[in-house]
Amino acid sequence: MRFGIVVFPGTWSDTDCHHAVNGVLGQEAGYIWHKETLLSGYDCIVLPGGFSYGDYLRPGAMAGLSPIMDAVKDFADSGGLVIGICNGFQILCESGLLPGALLRNKHLEYRCQWTNLRTERVDTPFTLACEPGQVLKVPVSHGEGNYYADAATLDHLESEGLVLFRYCEPSGEVTPRANPNGAARNIAGIVNAQGNVLGMMPHPERCCEEILGSVDGSLLFQSIVESVK
């Protein structure tokens, strides 16, 4: 399969994503400059982490209006897989592909650390290689990852099963202590109603090899590859 990795000015995790899906998983991957307006020949679009447009105004505000985003919306509407990681999650929320917003971390600190994520569903293209409730060790690196949505939206996410990952203890227990940024209901990642668009703050592309301290991120990319077969 072929991954398309979108590059905005200020994106910094594009080559990490390329290494994970191509170097580690052996899949085809190409870069897409954000000024492009067409997406063809891709099975999954990745919006990587970074500081697109320097986080000016709000993280993801300008990138969410970049020319490529209309094509990403069309791709998602036709069922294509889209994964936004960190700044990519912020861009998906800003562009309206996912609900809610990412606020400044509650404690105001930039956090670069390991987190544990409880996998809430394994019937999505992003988690089908995981065990139900599996705890994944995945790092975060952000200053504005505090997921916010109004109470009605949060309740909707919960009732429809759209919360895919929650910050948890290594045991899987969801606690305030395990929450690195103050995110509502420990939300680390959500999917859209169709289940083909995922936004998550943690970085799966940074933990696909033993030498990096965890291989759990590769489960996400393996899931995507299996779902496209």
Partner 1 sequence: MFLAKVYVTLKPTVSDPQGQTVLATLANLGFDTAVDIRVGKYLEVHIDETDRAEADSLVYRMCQTLLANPVIEEFRYELELTSEEE
Provide, rounded to whole angstroms, the least separation between the CB of residue 136 and partner 1: 27
133 contacts 119 by C-beta, under 8 angstroms: yes
State the minimum distance, in angstroms, from the CB of residue 57 to partner 1: 7
| Per annotation, catalytic residue among 130, 205, 207, 208 | 205
d(C-alpha 55, C-alpha 63), whole Å = 9
Quick one: 35 or 106, whose CB is closer to partner 1? Answer: 106
* Residue 86 is a catalytic residue: yes
Interface positions with partner 1 (CB under 8 A)? 57-58, 61-62, 65, 93-94, 99-101, 103-108, 148-150
Nearer to partner 1, 108 or 211 (CB): 108
Smallest separation, CB 48 to partner 1 (Å): 21
| Nearest residue to 164 (alpha-carbon basis) of 197, 142, 203, 208 | 197
User: Which residues lie across from 28 on neighbouring strands?
Assistant: 2
96's CB contacts (< 8 A; 6+ apart) are: 64
19 is catalytic: no
We find the least distance from the C-beta atom of residue 216 to partner 1, in angstroms, to be 30
Question: Which has the closest alpha carbon to 203: 193, 216, 191?
Answer: 216
Marked catalytic residue, from 17, 44, 86, 93: 86
Determine whether 226 is an active site residue: no
Check: CB of residue 164 under 8 Å from CB of residue 119. Answer: yes
Give buried/exposed letters for 61-89 (b at 16+ CB in 10 A, else e). bbbbebebbebbeebbeeebbbbbbbbbb
> In the complex with partner 1, which residue's Cβ is closer, 98 or 135?
98
Least distance (Å) between residue 138 CB and partner 1: 24
Q: Given 3-state DSSP classes, what are the helix, strand and coil percentages for the chain, each rounded to the nearest 5?
A: 30, 30, 40
Which 3 state secondary structure label does DSSP give 23? helix
Residues carrying an active site annotation: 86, 203, 205
